[in-house]
Amino acid sequence: MTRRSFSKVATVAGVATAMGVSMSGSLVETDKAYAESAPRIKTYQTMCHGCIDYCAVKVTLQDGVAIKIVGDETSPENRTSCCVKCLNQLHTAYSPRRILHPMKLAGERGSGEWEIISWDEAIELAATKIAESIRKYGYTSFFTSAGGGGAYNGAFEYAVAEGFYSPTCFEPGGAQCFVPRSSITPMVSGCNSTSIADSFCQEPFKPNSDTKMLVMWGTQPSVSQTAKSGRGLAELRAKGCKTVVIDPNFSPDASKATVWLPVRPGTDTALVLCWMRYIVDNNLYDEEFCKYWTTLPFLINPETRLPWLAEDVWPDYVNPALDPHDKYSTPAYVCFDRRTDSIQPFPFSAPQDSPVDPELFIEVDVNGLPSKTAYQIQYEEAEPWTLEATAKHCWLEPGKIEEAIRLYAEAEVAGISHGVATDQQRNASQMALGTNELDMMMGYVEKPGCTMTIRSMRHESRPTQAFDTFGIGMWNENYGYGWQNGYTESFNRKRYDEYPNKETQARWMNLLTNRLGMDKHKGMYWQDTVNPQAVLKAIRTGEPFKPRVWYDLSGNKLAMLGNAQSWYDIFPEIDFCIGQHPIITSFHFEACDLVLPVKEWLELNMTSSVLNRTYMFTEVIHLGETVDNTIPAERIRKRTFEILGEEHDDAFPAWPGNDDEEALRAQIADTFGAPSWEELKENQSSYVPLVVPEEEYWVYYQYLDIVDDGLPAGFATESRKCEPYCASILKASRNGFPYTYPIEMPSCPDYDPICVNVDPVEDPTTDTDYPLVITSGRVPYFHHGTMRHAAFARELYPAPDLKINPRTAAEYGIGHGDWVKVSSRRGSISARAYLTEAEAPGQLWMERFWNPECYDDSQKDKTGGWRECNINILTDNFIDYEGDEDPYNNMFGSYTLRGFTVKIEKGERPANVWIEPEEFEPFMPTLRSEPQTGDVF
Amino acid sequence: MYNEGTLDELARALAKHPLHREIYRKTLLYCRAPRILEQIEHEIASFPEFKSATQNQVHFLKVLVELGALEQIGLDECGEVVPEPHKGDSAEDRLDELVVDWMFMITDLGEQYVEANSVERRIGDLFAEKTELVPLYEAILNYCDSPRSYKEIADCIQEQAASSVQLADLVAGLEPSVFVSSLEKAGGLVWDEGWVVTPEGGSSGRRTDRFE
């Protein structure tokens, strides 16, 4: 009997049951002789995915049960380290909360009553409901989501939506995390994102790193990726690297910083502009780099706000960098030349070959219009932000700001790294741009030790760039869409015109033009996702279509989405909700009709890299009927199209789905050059890791390499230079360029091509009803919404700490450890006071939290566990169903998850919340004796 | 067995799952006369909406009883009503043993719900809210006198928009599903191997022959 047919027999009765049923012992026969034999110990190399990142680790099994995890000494970043989040896997993989079989809702949503069904039934049910909805309302009725922790296949959720011809996929992150910081840097420089919260910024963690000065702006790597970048930073600091940490929270990294600037939440753009002003006023910028490798000396047409092109001023001008084959684009601009004291064409060249010495700060007439240089425009924007004005606005000391700037600007090389915090504010795009601008002004680009690097094989031609998240799978370029920087208009157009299948291309266009929220926030085209609030609004109003069958591929949406109540309120509009996750979360409890069990990372087969080394995830255990994250979607998609019949074609040709575990393993074996998966698993050290030689991986100064047109390679931007003044950002607002090219989307108000100040939506200095400001961040024990069912971690951190200054606490009669009721205009929650001088008076900090114990079987009155201690009850997605309110980041639609106003009073412990160690006993791992199972599919 | 609840609470609970709303309402309507379990099971099975339901008939009845919209009455083998025992009464088990079938009847609360959520009322509300779209709604209702595919309705809407600049402006940028969904939610359309007008929807659609 196969594994699947056995499980079908076992579930025929369709027993109604509470969650967490493991069917222990009912799946395979136990071999007594084996049980009585001596313990068999075996250690495997695998990877941890307890956070967004990956650490190479070694897992020791005793008789098939994972008992120990340590860092893999060959891993260059985490080395022998692993963190609490990693170790939590020993609890979460064997947690009684795991679901090991597909579960169909047996009662009403929120009842916690489930029925085990077979995978065949689950696939059929999901496909039937999706097909039914597509027949009734069209493809746009289907939508997907993921994120908030526990997603093992990043980006797959977009492809799933698109695989059903739906334009709607969203994440609680996206605009609120990842997209702004990750998409701006490539756009303005062609370099990798400088974000330290992911694996993008790698330079500081290179063995023997050259980083001598690092600014961490709104990020705490010691908490986010403790074993990897946290460990790396400790090593870096020990070697003498100076750090500036800009964070309202006194994080471990702040505590070790050379200078800590506890900026008032949400006021970061003012501080960035202050740095810019100070750097200019004190001539601290890299003049040579600014002149020849950035757009800062370009004169800007005040009417179009675009840089003047040489041809605009001199129609007969012949650009010496023109590609005779009309493939690569290298425009010539206009500058004020100091040598001739006049405006002149500014063609691209090596600095030493430049015909001009461009002025950086000036206003002159061009074609009769007073035109400023880009740097002049940026400086004027920064001019109000003196040290004193900024200190007052941002609740900082002028001297400390100056000290931080000097540390940064006077270093031989430095870099700014940012993280999640600035994405969770209304100034998300401006902050990403502003911090990048600073590095460009300082010439901290492509140097050993800086954070803004390209890190790729050296170019032979002028660098080019497509504007997709990762450029793989179901992306624009597969269908001829999207402008690629570096190519000419005619070459880009040719890609579109010559795409062979016009019907497929038209379908892709339909997805682009139908995507929700893109009338205003076109920056989200970079990730193939839409803003959560746009989806919410469409569900609620039904316009321009109503997303109504929901497939969520990971995480607890009620814990992670801003204004969680507004989401709960629309659940009655959802016809059918499918969730896949290793456990039942608040979201599955409250919203889902069907839950599909997927693997924990100890069960996964994948590959990922740590710096220049590629490692493998190894399936060292497998419980129940859990499957790889990609498999259910592909199975459901195939079955849906079978049900729909011939009038509905199957998916796009670039669909990246896989429906077979064996095929996944074969791919991995092939990656490592092993003849078979079995050989690879048994002799891992012979194949793993794959290593890119250091001299090929750590590549610097690529922009100076002379390429096939005889010019320096430059950068993969429109101008071939770094673009602190970025015309592409401006164009995005006007017609969707570069993302939707050649489709011109309706325009919206301009996105600024430079960093401008954006104040927070709610201001504690003027808000008399809610006079305190609160912000949030991560703690070392959990990642996003994961692991709240890990017993030991919850013992360490049972409830969210509300960090509060003792003077502020005293004003409200609150003592250390007291329960506090925290209220915003959206709702109230509870947290425990943690009194600390590290928090500024009038400011609060707490972690996002939710409580899976609230629907434990031991609870008398179960709740969904998302209202008690969840800061997203307080946050605001500013959803305005009737009006046109738009207090979002203009480019990405990011709303404010950090830095909004609240009030506090002494409170009480919520009824279902556990605090004492012994209370967490029901979370202790009980599935260690669960039999090891084979592939479901 | 009978929990007196408010109309708001009942409405909120029955609205929790969109695939089940009409089933609940129609079940209550059917139970305006006393019905035994088997009758109701057959009746619910005949609802077009039941084909999309994710729960069975017993579940729907259980919910309606628990919310106080239906009264559940035990019947003995002669079809006589078995009196409901008091909680903790020593006769409770004995009386339970007498029950061989169940009869269900709508309660006052259920009546209030049915009245407040009548299709006529909901279509009236929709038409009042979107007066400018009434001709289009009526055209769709009339068009669905036999089951229509989504594409057929989309074509119908496109045809209507082509004949009226004002209507073209109103529907621009909106998917056809917007109008289908609104009429379905109001109870005017139901999916039964295609979109088809309900009896109450038919009355509303016949108010005007503008697009016929």
User: Which H, E and C letters describe A626-670, residue by residue?
Assistant: CECCHHHHHHHHHHHHHHHCCCCCCCCCCCCCCCCHHHHHHHHHH
Angle between helices B150-162 and B176-185 (to 10 degrees): 110
Chain A nearest CA to B33, separation (Å): 27
Asked if the C-beta of B123 comes within 8 angstroms of chain A's C-beta atoms, the answer is no
- Number of neighbours of residue A221 by Cβ within 10 angstroms: 27
Polymer length in residues for chain A: 937
* Tens-level pLDDT at each residue, chain B (212 residues): 444 568 999 999 999 999 999 999 999 999 999 999 999 999 999 999 999 999 999 999 999 999 999 999 999 888 888 887 655 566 666 667 788 899 999 999 999 999 999 999 999 999 999 899 999 999 999 999 999 999 999 999 999 999 889 999 999 999 999 999 999 999 999 999 999 999 999 887 655 444 33
pLDDT at B202 (0 to 100): 87
Are the beta carbons of B16 and A571 separated by less than 8 Å?
A: yes
CB contact under 8 A, A137 and B63: no
φ, ψ at A657 (rounded to 5°) = -70, 160
SS3 A530: strand
- Cβ-Cβ contacts under 8 Å, B174 against chain A: 543-545
**Cβ atoms within 10 A of the Cβ of A543, count?**
15
* Radius of gyration of chain A, Cα coordinates, nearest whole angstrom: 28
Q: How far is CA A876 from CA A73, A824, A848, A899, B172, in A?
A: 44, 9, 14, 11, 31
pLDDT at B1: 40
Q: Which of B54, B59, B60, B184 best tests the A interface by mutation, with the highest count of A CBs <10 A?
A: B54
Whole-number Cα distances in Å, B135 to A267, B162, B163, B185, B207: 52, 14, 12, 18, 10
Instruction: Measure B118 CA to nearest chain A CA, in Å.
Output: 19
Closest CA to A332 of A720, A592, A663, A624: A720
> Which segments of A396-440 are extended strands (E)?
415-418
- DSSP states of A244-281: EEE-SS--HHHHT-SEEE-PPTT-HHHHHHHHHHHHHH
pLDDT for res B2: 41
A contacts of B59 (beta carbons < 8 Å): 107
Three-state SS across A795-846? HHCCCCEEEECHHHHHHCCCCCCCEEEEECCCCEEEEEEEECCCCCCCEEEE
List of chain A residues whose C-beta atoms are within 8 Å of the C-beta of residue B175: 137-138, 140, 544-545
DSSP label at residue A785? T
SS (H, E, C) chain B: CCCCCCHHHHHHHHCCCCCCHHHHHHHHHHCCCCEEHHHHHHHHHHCHHHHHCCCCHHHHHHHHHHCCCEEEEEECCCCCECCCCCCCCCCHHHHHHHCCEEEEEECHHHHHHHHHCCHHHHHHHHHHHCHHHHHHHHHHHHHCCCCECHHHHHHHHHHHHHCCHHHHHHHCCCCHHHHHHHHHHCCCEEECCCEEECHHHHHHHCCCCCCC
Which of A124, A168, A545, A589 best probes binding to B when mutated, by most B CB atoms within 10 angstroms? A545
Whole-Å CA distances, A386 to A279, A280, A394, A438, A581: 11, 12, 12, 16, 50
Question: Which of A110, A545, A574 has its CB closest to that of B177?
Answer: A545
Predicted confidence at residue A14, as pLDDT, reads 34
Per-residue pLDDT, A16:
35
Q: Quote the minimal CA–CA distance from B175 to chain A in Å.
A: 5
Cα of B79 to nearest chain A Cα, Å? 30
- Predicted local confidence at residue B4, as pLDDT: 53
Task: Determine contact: B192 vs chain A, CB below 8 A.
Answer: no
Distance from CA of A105 to the nearest CA of B (A): 8
Cβ of B17 within 8 Å of Cβ of A107? The answer is no
B178 touches chain A (CB under 8 A): yes
* Burial letters B119-152, b for 16+ CB under 10 A, else e: beebbeebbeeeeebbbbbbbbbbbbeeebebeb
Containing A428, the helix (H) or strand (E) segment is: helix A428-441
Contact B178 A544 (CB under 8 A): yes
With 0-12 / 13-18 / 19 or more C-beta atoms within 10 angstroms meaning exposed / middle / buried, residue A205 is: buried
Residue A405's H or E segment, with its range, is: helix A398-409
Mean pLDDT for each 10-residue chunk of chain A (937 residues)? 35 36 50 72 95 93 96 94 95 96 95 96 98 96 89 76 93 90 94 88 91 95 91 94 96 96 97 98 98 98 98 98 97 98 98 98 98 98 98 98 98 94 93 97 97 88 84 71 94 94 90 91 91 94 97 95 96 97 96 97 93 95 94 93 82 75 92 96 96 94 96 97 98 94 94 96 94 95 94 96 97 98 97 96 95 95 96 88 74 94 97 96 95 93
Contacts of A926 (CB under 8 A, 6+ apart): A22, A94, A95, A96
Q: Which of B16, B137, B177, B182 to mutate to test the interface with A (most CBs of A within 10 A)?
A: B177
CB atoms within 10 A of CB B90: 8
| Cβ pairs A/B, distance under 8 A | 65
Whose CA is closest to A666, among A702, A700, A616? A616
Contact: B18, A141; criterion CB under 8 Å = no
Cβ contact (<8 Å) for A542 and B176?
no
What would the pLDDT profile of B141-168 be if each residue is shown by its tens digit? 999 999 999 999 999 999 999 988 999 9
Q: What are phi and psi of B68, to 5 degrees?
A: 85, 15
Show the DSSP H helices in A688-833 as ranges. 694-697, 727-735, 791-796, 806-811
CA dist A887 and A882 (Å) reads 15
* Cβ within 8 Å, pair A548-B54: no
CA distance A901 to A775: 9
A576 neighbourhood in chain B, CB within 8 Å: 19, 54
Q: Within an 8 Å CB–CB cutoff, is residue A569 touching chain B?
A: no
- Report the C-alpha gap between A155 and A140 in whole angstroms: 19
Angle at A414 between CA A412 and CA A419, to 5 degrees: 175
In A253-411, where do the E strands start and end?
259-261, 299-300, 333-337, 342-346, 363-366, 369-373
Helix (H, G, I), strand (E, B) or coil at A577: strand
Put simply, the answer to whether A573 touches B17 (Cβ < 8 Å) is no
Tokens of residue A483, six digits:
């402008």
Q: Which of B54, B150, B178 sits opposite A542 (nearest CB)?
A: B178
3-state secondary structure of A113: strand
Task: Kindly list the distances between the CA atom of residue B212 and the CA atoms of A212, B145, B151, B170, B179, in Å, as whole numbers in the listed order.
Answer: 79, 12, 19, 20, 18
B100 touches chain A (CB under 8 A): no
Residue B177: closest C-alpha in chain A:
A137
E strand or H helix at A115, and its extent? strand A113-116
List the single residue in B18, B150, B173 with the smallest CB-CB distance to A135.
Answer: B150
Look at the block and give the residue holding tokens 């740095």: A275
pLDDT at residue B91, as a whole number: 66
Residues of B in contact with A137 (CB under 8 A): 150, 175, 177, 180-181
A-contacting residues in B 5-64 (Cβ below 8 Å) = 13, 15-19, 52, 54, 59, 63
Question: Cβ–Cβ of B175/A545 closer than 8 Å?
Answer: yes
Nearest CA-CA partner of A596 in A77, A62, A114:
A114
Cβ–Cβ contact A575 with B under 8 A: yes
- Is A648:A164 a contact under the CB 8 Å cutoff? no
Q: Which residues of A touch B15 (CB under 8 A)?
A: 572
Q: Which of B17, B151, B153, B190 to mutate against chain A (most A CBs within 10 Å)?
A: B17
* Chain A partners within 8 Å of B150 (Cβ): 135-138
A575:B175 CB<8 A:
no
The C-alpha of B98 sits at a distance from chain A's nearest C-alpha, in angstroms, of 27
Mutation target to probe the B interface, by most B beta carbons within 10 A, among A543, A548, A643 is: A543
State the Cα–Cα distance between residues A822 and A854, nearest whole angstrom.
19
Q: Enter the tokens of residue A14.
A: 């369709």
Closest CA to A133 of A108, A165, A105, A107: A165
Residues of A in contact with B176 (CB under 8 A): 138
User: How far apart, in whole angstroms, are the C-alpha atoms of residue B29 and residue A849?
Assistant: 45
Closest chain A C-alpha to B178 CA, distance in angstroms: 6
Please report the ipTM that was assigned to this predicted complex: 0.93
CA-based nearest residue in chain B for residue A106? B55
Coil, helix or strand for A922? Answer: helix
Judged by CB atoms closer than 8 Å, whether chains meet at B174 and A543 is answered as: yes
Sort out which chain B residues have CB atoms less than 8 A from A545's CB and list them. 174-175, 177-178
Q: Is A137 on the interface with B (CB under 8 A)?
A: yes
- Residue A341: what residue type? D
Q: In what order do the strands lie in the sheet with A613-617?
A: A606-610, A613-617, A690-691
Say whether B177 and A576 touch across the interface (CB within 8 A). no
Cβ contact, residue pair B177, A107, below 8 Å:
no
